[in-house]
Chains A and B, each alone.
Chain A
């Protein structure tokens, strides 16, 4: 009987190895381990054995049963895994077909850059101030030390509603509004739309944006102006950026300066973008003219300050290599989708 048991074990092993589907495996189970299977049939003859043989054979029979059960379990796992793999294979998708998405809208490039600029200044303790776009001549010119018939007005051809009311030509008007209301220390950034009579072409727009900054406090000197411009340029254009100021003229600052930064396309080597100069002019700056401070009720003998202004469009066109300012106001969806 011992031999018979081992033969069953051997046959079961062979049958298990041959089974390739769950059905075949079930057939193997029924044939060997089922209620009417070979092992049961063999064990039903146990009673015929001598008492001393019975425990020995019983032990072997248990071994064989355990072996067969384990074999079935293992094989079952293998087969299930194989079947799962086959199913997964069938479920395979063409991953190169387009994805389904809820479209997220795009931010206008002017505002992408403007937000960056604002964040850079906010991190340096600036607040953001707004002022009216339709402005009094007083705030746009007079209070900025540009009286009527001043030649500086020629460079800022102005849209008028009446002799006293106009579309602001510069965000510097906000400087005055801030200083009228606030005593120093002052640290504000005032970005916004400005308007000048200019026929529309690839480089001109009658509407554009300026970003104006103003700092007024005790003991502010030209070195602070220079240091701040350097810091801001590095924040906006990268840590390698160099800043250069050179004399310029604005009626509302004294001394005045033009701000240039090392070309962010070529790093100052000279390229088409910077017209081989290595420098790009980004705006104007200067120490706030004492007449302007006094106009706003701030004592220039106690306080001093600096102001600067930059053109947003110039930064945006440069950053993205846009060669036509009209693209910014045409709002072609194909253009907007690039950002």
Chain B
């Protein structure tokens, strides 16, 4: 909300620099996001009266004017403007004046005739024709009123600062000049003066014209109205136009401006209907009928439903209650009789309606925060007082006031001692009372109670009061304590430590960490070749997503990883080796239950010579560092996203941990990648479950190891891992290690055969092994293998 400093001062005598006002209000909870001078850049511009207008001797399109600018002699100004006449009051930028946008005006000659300055139009003063409906954009601003020689900033009321205040949702009372002034009074410890409006009431009785029935009292606790007859629709006076302008509201006409002015002043939205358009002289506040349609003031047809509240006459709705009036009862230049409505509506209903109709208005923004029902009358009176002051019509002496609001005043114990403790300040009872009373509370120190003003429905208990005291005592003045040491000791859990170590391990073997979105495109499932009946397609769908690309919660982290690889590939980055510890969201069978949110350690890589064994080696290295032992790697031909011949399933003690390998070329193509792309998906929880502290001390061996190499021949289909396992079993304890180091194929070996060379390390803890010890072991191995068709290469 925009707050005019000049207007604010009318209620409380704040006299501080703009910057100080902004800072101090910020520190007591009225957030000032910024402020600006309305007359930024204007200097030495005054009101001038045109005394004479004569044709320029050398130019058809120019005239020479003599102007009274309040100096001893009239001054001469040359202009090309046409819309003025002798006797008009106009803004005159004198010699050595400045205008917004860094414009400097100096004495000069126009076609040989001296001009001592320049006349100004609205735009030259940094204003717009919207602010001055009578003005034209390509002519001078003709002032309706003014004192010759007066500074134009004062004359227009633009010698003002506008503060941009961000009002918190719990403080609708501050969506008003009086509300902000009250906060300012509390902040600067000044009195607040709000004059009670007085209405003469010289018109006809409202009762004669209007009857009001509230049908849905749950949504409308109060409806107050007055009738204004003999209405004269006219432009508003300059002061009102200027104040509305400061608040960012465009002037329309006197009646509409008054409703807006009172909304800004009191925070009570008002509505004015053309009485002539009300059928039956009867207003009913009721829920709309399903399917009812009404054209609102913005000329749009609105489809209403039974949850929305409308103001209706006997035949039709004339306003969407608290949101926007209907076009059918709009104030026009012909309007003669006006109904002024000052009502209160239930916030949640207004919020719902405005949202559903997609029209959040200034009025709905007020009502949806539940404003004070006790201010309808005063605001109504203020509007009618203005009607009388502006001579806009005759106001009814009586008021129609259907009032079902709760008038109980909330009283809460002050709990002064508790407050002093809770916010840690030493403030006396009297000081507390003074702070609270400045912002509208009544404090009785004898019985220790606080009466909460009706406009502060947000204050319910001692905690709320403590905030009031803290705010105006100053958060800056609260001391700082460190808390007591008596707590359970914190720290990471074992699983959290494991995850941190895992991330370090992944980086140690060369993968960089990424972070991707949790919601993805459902197209990703197709791109990673998931079959139609894959369980992974059963994902949580967002009802109101930003777009299809971010519309479902991921059940697999692979597409996110591949998108990142692809964007890097598109950027011609030669290699990317990445990981993400990605949360996936697995729907519960019971749809009312929350999904499981397991984390998947996801690796993705291309380039820099990566191949299957590089990937495998790095994963093994990383897992070894994490104390994950007894890893078993088996071929995995069934994962549709991966290359059927170059993919492995990783398990530990029979528990499947995940999958890794080369991606299927079609998967790669679907992401517009090329070449060999590798990936891994491992379950974090499973990895943690199988990790253990396998590390420990064993004495260093006293006797040397002996190595023997065996080149074996077997069928192509035989897995090296199986041979290794057999060698281990056959060799017994004396075998310390066995490792395949070469694979060889040749015509001599024969079609469908391969030769794998193994390095065996043998050691005895008690003695140095001799050939006589080793030979029987080797021959036992060879005999054993031969039974499975695996032979020593000749």
Contacts and interface: CB of A to CB of B under 8 A. Distances in A.
A67 to B, nearest CB: 49
Contacts of A251: 170
B715 interface: no
Interface in A197-233: 197, 199-200, 206-207, 215, 217, 219-224, 226-228, 230-231
B481 A103 contact: no
Contacts of A217: 483-484, 486-487
B511 interface: yes
Contacts of A193: 518, 583
Interface in B443-494: 461, 463-464, 466-467, 470-471, 475-476, 478-493
Contacts of A154: 169, 351
A332 B568 contact: yes
Contact of B496 (A121, A128, A149, A249): A128
B571 to A, nearest CB: 6
Contacts of B493: 127-128
A126 B511 CA distance: 30
B772 interface: no
B703 interface: no
Given A135-B594, A197-B544, A206-B550, A151 B483 contact: no
B25 to A, nearest CB: 10
Interface stretch (A3-11, A79-87, A89-97, A108-116): A108-116
- Which of A248, A251, A255 has the most C-beta atoms of chain B within 10 angstroms of its own C-beta? A255
Contacts of B511: 105
Contact of A304 (B422, B507, B513, B564): B422
A249 B171 contact: yes
A136 interface: yes
B506 interface: yes
A155 B519 CA distance: 21
A228 B471 CA distance: 19
B212 interface: no
Nearest to A334: B573
Interface in A118-153: 118, 121-122, 124-128, 132-136, 148-152
B545 A108 contact: no
A328 B567 contact: no
Given A108-B515, A135-B594, A336-B514, A228 B483 contact: yes
A171 interface: no
B475 A247 contact: yes
A220 B510 CA distance: 46
A247 B29 contact: yes
B515 A329 contact: yes
B483 A331 contact: no
A29 interface: no
Contacts of A103: 510, 577, 608
Nearest to B545: A159
Given A105-B506, A329-B515, A332-B571, A246 B475 contact: yes
B481 A223 contact: yes
B482 A231 contact: yes
A221 B543 contact: no
Given A105-B579, A125-B489, A255 B518 contact: no
Given A195-B518, A257-B475, A331-B516, A164 B424 contact: no
Contacts of B496: 128
Contacts of A105: 506-513, 577-579
B305 to A, nearest CB: 16
A126 B467 CA distance: 27
A102 B510 contact: yes
B719 interface: no
A290 B518 contact: no
Contact of B567 (A134, A256, A330): A330
B753 to A, nearest CB: 36
Nearest to A115: B500
A133 B599 CA distance: 12
Contact of B592 (A108, A122, A164, A246): A164
Given A107-B513, A152-B169, A193-B518, A333 B573 contact: yes
Interface in A161-213: 161-162, 164-165, 167, 185, 187-188, 193, 195, 197, 199-200, 206-207
Nearest to A163: B543
Contacts of B463: 254-255, 287, 289-290
B482 A255 contact: no
A241 to B, nearest CB: 13
B28 interface: yes
A160 B542 contact: yes
14 contacts: A110-B515, A127-B488, A133-B518, A134-B585, A160-B543, A167-B518, A187-B487, A221-B421, A221-B424, A228-B483, A244-B476, A246-B26, A248-B29, A328-B515
Given A330-B567, A332-B571, 15 more contacts: A105-B510, A105-B513, A105-B578, A127-B490, A127-B493, A151-B347, A161-B542, A167-B519, A221-B422, A222-B466, A246-B29, A247-B471, A331-B564, A333-B575, A334-B571
Interface of A: 102-108, 110-111, 115, 118, 121-122, 124-128, 132-136, 148-152, 154-155, 159-162, 164-165, 167, 185, 187-188, 193, 195, 197, 199-200, 206-207, 215, 217, 219-224, 226-228, 230-231, 244-249, 251, 254-257, 287, 289-290, 304, 328-334, 336-337
8 nearest A-B residue pairs (beta carbon): A247-B29, A255-B467, A149-B348, A223-B424, A105-B507, A227-B480, A249-B168, A331-B514
Interface of B: 26-29, 31, 168-171, 347-348, 351-352, 368-369, 421-424, 461, 463-464, 466-467, 470-471, 475-476, 478-493, 496, 500, 503, 506-519, 540-546, 550, 553, 564, 567-568, 571, 573, 575-579, 583, 585, 591-592, 594-595, 597, 608
